């Protein structure tokens, strides 16, 4: 097993590059995504100190005690997120 595969929480079949909000929206609607399956399963309830919800068309997450939330980035985009300027 490669180091990259070992470090991923969810494995994806194909890494995709995102440059726009629409790319993230498309990735979040992927029915084969294990990450998004997990998020949808725990929507609108606190689970492991995290609250997932939808805001303005995007899946968002918020950690208990943190002031700001984040956009959920599915596994197919996670590998390339560091490449975004």
Asked whether the whole model's pTM tops 0.85, one would answer no
Instruction: Inform me whether the pLDDT recorded for 9 exceeds 60.
Output: no
| Spatial contact of 39 and 76, defined as CB atoms under 8 Å apart | no
Provide the domain limits for residue 47.
Answer: 3-83
For residue 75, the model assigns a pLDDT of: 77
State how many domains the chain has. Answer: 1
pLDDT in tens, 22-68: 888 988 998 888 889 999 999 999 999 999 999 999 999 999 999 99
């Amino acid at each position: 097993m490669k180091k990259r595969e070992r470090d991923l929480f969810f494995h994806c079949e194909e890494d995709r590059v995102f440059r726009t909000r629409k790319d993230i929206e498309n990735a979040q609607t992927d029915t084969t995504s294990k990450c998004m399956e997990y998020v949808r399963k725990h929507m609108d309830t606190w689970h492991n100190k995290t609250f997932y919800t939808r805001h303005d068309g995007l899946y968002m997450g918020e950690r208990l005690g943190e002031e700001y939330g984040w956009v959920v980035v599915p596994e197919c985009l996670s590998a390339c997120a560091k490449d975004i300027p």
